[in-house]
Structure 1
Amino acid sequence: MIELNWEGVYPAVLTPFKENGDIDFEMFAKNTEAQIKAGVHGIIIAGSLGDAAVLEMDEKFELLTFTIKVVNGRVPVILNIAENTTKNAVNFAVKAKQLGADGLMLLPPMRYKADDREAVEYFKAVANATDLPILIYNNPVDYPVFVSLAMFEELQLCPTIKAVKESTRDLTNITRMKNRFRDRYKILAGVDTISLEALAVGADGWVFGLVDAFPKETVAMYNHVKNGEFAKALELYRWFMPLLELDIHPKLIQYIKLAATAEGISTPYLRAPRLPLVGEEAERINKVIADGIASRPKLD
């Protein structure tokens, strides 16, 4: 197991499909290699952007086994947990450890909007069932559970809960977390369109979406910030913004798969109920992608 420090760039990687709906493992490996070559710090699989909602449980474990083989110890491999019941989430965490995952990203219970007490007990049950380090996904916009400061206060008792994917879209929440807990939790910003601002107020890294299509540019932007080269980071960020906005839409999977396909590191295929884009929307999104590729800045 590779030690996780929860700093840097962590792609929430896509799950490419073949036209018949099967997982395209060859293309998945190609994208993973592009991420690692660019210098990412870990790989998160079967997340929201990785089509967690339409992957069968066995497919998620098959993907984990395949990813571990492809990565071969170069970066940590983190498996997302998105289950409906506490029992299934616990069993999922145990199986992930057995198969060799280095860490877990943990969503709140799916389908049921748990209250604060229920969500905390769910998180605790999973955390107590494994010694794998856990990243709590705090995204009340897409998953209606808001993990509050009071809830994180309770979760401090769980040593395996190490970090939070901060996707509340409220930048002040990063400062509140740092003021309350100092370095108890590492914070990975999870919204592409406020990623630079998140680093400026103390985030330790990113869980990124458009890195799936543009790994070199994403890692370069992060490194510029860490090297104190803010003007260079800002130049990249301004170029990137129209593309980053593809991340904050219900069709982010369709959009980002198209961007990664344009870069030769994904396929555009989907599993229903998601469908390919048509008409004006297809023209608009493909133009955003084409314009971004045509105007991409030269990296140092």
Structure 2
Amino acid sequence: MNKIYTATEIVGVNPIVAMPFTPSGETDEHSFVRLLEHLAATGANGATLFGIASEFPKLDDSERQRLAQMFVSTLAGSPLYRAMSVTDHSTELAVKRAKYYQQLGTDALMLLPPFFLSPSPQAIQQHIFAVLEAVDIPVMVQYAPGETGLPITPDQLAAVAARYPHAVFKIECNPPVDYTREFLRHAPQASVLNGYAGLYILEMLAAGGKGVMPGCSFSEVYVQIYRHWQRGEQRQAQALHQRLLPYIQRWMSHCEYIIQAEKTVLYQRGIIASDYCRHPGWTLSAEDKAAIARLTEEFHLS
């Protein structure tokens, strides 16, 4: 029987699962399973499916249902907690999907608040509340204003934390550190994780964050950084992070850029069979491909 997780246990390194496709653009289920099995062996704490790095807008409903089932079953009994993102812009559909994912057996959810056609702050709040009230597993409420164009103030987010103890908060405004400090001043009991490719992992941990949600192609590096920090080895954590920064800073200049770069890393490592991304996407330059080769060599990513 799988462990039942609380909000305070959604911590550590929780990579967003990439979505492997064949060279013709079909979902590659064999590579998907191989990727999940790889992640289960990296030392990461969790894994999340259907985040932005999963290319969720480029999947149809039947693909999502099939992949959700495979995700839960493949990682059953693994050391990872399993989370799936609810991205529907309709509150009614988001509630249905959240209930379905919980029934399927996922350990946690991530919730991307609706932003299409600029709903009012009250409508967004009602959407978040409705999903949180529909389930009793942890829900990571995602704050990604750079991707959604949706601003939420720290005190508005704190109101969610006060009302729902099973809420976790994925804060990835840029930069996120001051926002997180202000949020935790209003809601000191809240659990915070940060995405944004781990650019701010150490600053966020120092500010009171509990973990990081990067891409999944070099999760082992984030695990090493996090473990150094847990052991109080600040210099080692900082040195390793500084080596990684030149790569992720460049790639994070555009979401499609880092999605393609990370998928190419997975392909070069032999974890997935193709680095195809569904269109529209990003074309890597020869310089980009050389940087990926350097990264895999520098960090011994076989």
- TM-score, shorter chain, exceeding 0.5: yes
Counterpart CA distance in 2 for 1:153 and 1:106 is 16
Distance change in 2, residues 1:236/1:58 (3 Å): same
Aligned CA distance change for structure 1 residues 141 and 79 (closer, same or farther; 3 Å): same
Question: 5 Å matches for 1:1-300?
Answer: 2-4=4-6, 5-74=9-78, 75-156=80-161, 158-159=163-164, 161-170=166-175, 171-183=177-189, 185-191=190-196, 192-209=198-215, 212-245=216-249, 246-251=251-256, 252-266=258-272, 267-274=274-281, 277=283, 281-296=284-299
The TM-score with structure 1 as length reference comes to 0.91
Q: Sequence identity of aligned pairs in percent?
A: 23
Note the aligned Cα RMSD (angstroms): 1.8
1:167 CA displacement: 0.2
TM-score, with structure 2 as normaliser? 0.90
Q: Residues 226 and 68 of structure 1: is their aligned pair in 2 closer, same or farther, counting only changes over 3 Å?
A: same
Give the gaps of 5 or more residues in structure 1: none
Distance in 2 (CA, whole Å) between partners of 1:249 and 1:56 is 23
Q: 1:109 to 1:124 in 2, by over 3 A?
A: same
Residue type at the aligned position of 2:62: D
Query: C-alpha separation between the residues in 1 aligned to 2:13 and 2:148?
Result: 23
| Structure 1 residue identity aligned to 2:36 | T
1:63 offset after TM fit, Å?
1.2
Letter of the 1:69 counterpart: S
Find the aligned partners of 1:228 and 1:65 in 2 and give their Cα distance. 39
| 1:254-279 per-position Cα deviation (integer Å, ceiling 9, x unaligned) | 1211122122223311212225x1xx
Counterpart CA distance in 2 for 1:158 and 1:102 is 21
Q: 1:200 to 1:153 in 2, by over 3 A?
A: closer
Q: Note if contact 2:155-2:183 (Cα within 8 Å) is conserved in structure 1.
A: no
- Misfit runs of 4+, over 3 Å: none
Per-residue CA deviation, residues 180-228 of structure 1 (Å, 9 max, x unaligned), is: 1112x2100112212222112221001112xx11122210111001111
**Displacement, 1:150?**
2.8
Deviation, 1:110, is 4.3
